[in-house]
Amino acid sequence: SQQGEEDPQALSIQEGENATMNCSYKTSINNLQWYRQNSGRGLVHLILIRSNEREKHSGRLRVTLDTSKKSSSLLITASRAADTASYFCATGANSKLTFGKGITLSVRP
């Protein structure tokens, strides 16, 4: 069963807009990670945030983590058509990584 659940399931935005994706999880974690998957490809790691961190940045990505609410958000600023992909949150605990079902992001040129 999935530990993380992403919200919304699908998101369509215009190029240049920001995209915000949310993830909720159920049990204690060591870290939370976000991955991207382009159609027909493997997953690619985007960013990792540890349980004692609240916010992290990487280029156009900003991730927040609220362990009291068991939730995380991924913000992609100034989106590009190339950001079109599925995005997954994954929770790390007890040596294993469990994924949610993903969010499909479409960025219209």
Partner 1 sequence: DARVTQTPRHKVTEMGQEVTMRCQPILGHNTVFWYRQTMMQGLELLAYFRNRAPLDDSGMPKDRFSAEMPDATLATLKIQPSEPRDSAVYFCASGSADKNTGELFFGEGSRLTVL
Q: What's the number of CA atoms in the CB half-sphere (13 Å) around residue 21?
A: 33
Q: Is the peptide bond before 8 cis (omega within 30 degrees of 0)?
A: yes
Nearer to partner 1, 71 or 98 (CB): 98
Residues 15-54 binding partner 1 (CB under 8 A) are 30-31, 33, 35, 41-45, 48
Find the part of the chain contacting partner 1 (CB under 8 A) among 18-26, 65-73, 77-85, 98-106: 98-106
What are phi and psi for residue 102, nearest 5 degrees?
95, 160
Do residues 107 and 84 make contact, with C-beta atoms less than 8 angstroms apart?
Answer: yes
Residue 95 within binding range of partner 1, rule CB under 8 A: yes
Residue 101 found at the interface with partner 1 (CB under 8 A): yes
Neighbours of 102 (CB within 10 A): 21
Of residues 7, 24, 60, 92, which one binds partner 1 by CB under 8 A? 92
Q: 18 or 28, CB closer to partner 1?
A: 28
Cis peptide before 109 (omega within 30 of 0): no
Site residues for partner 1 per CB under 8 A: 2, 30-31, 33, 35, 41-45, 48, 88, 92, 95-102
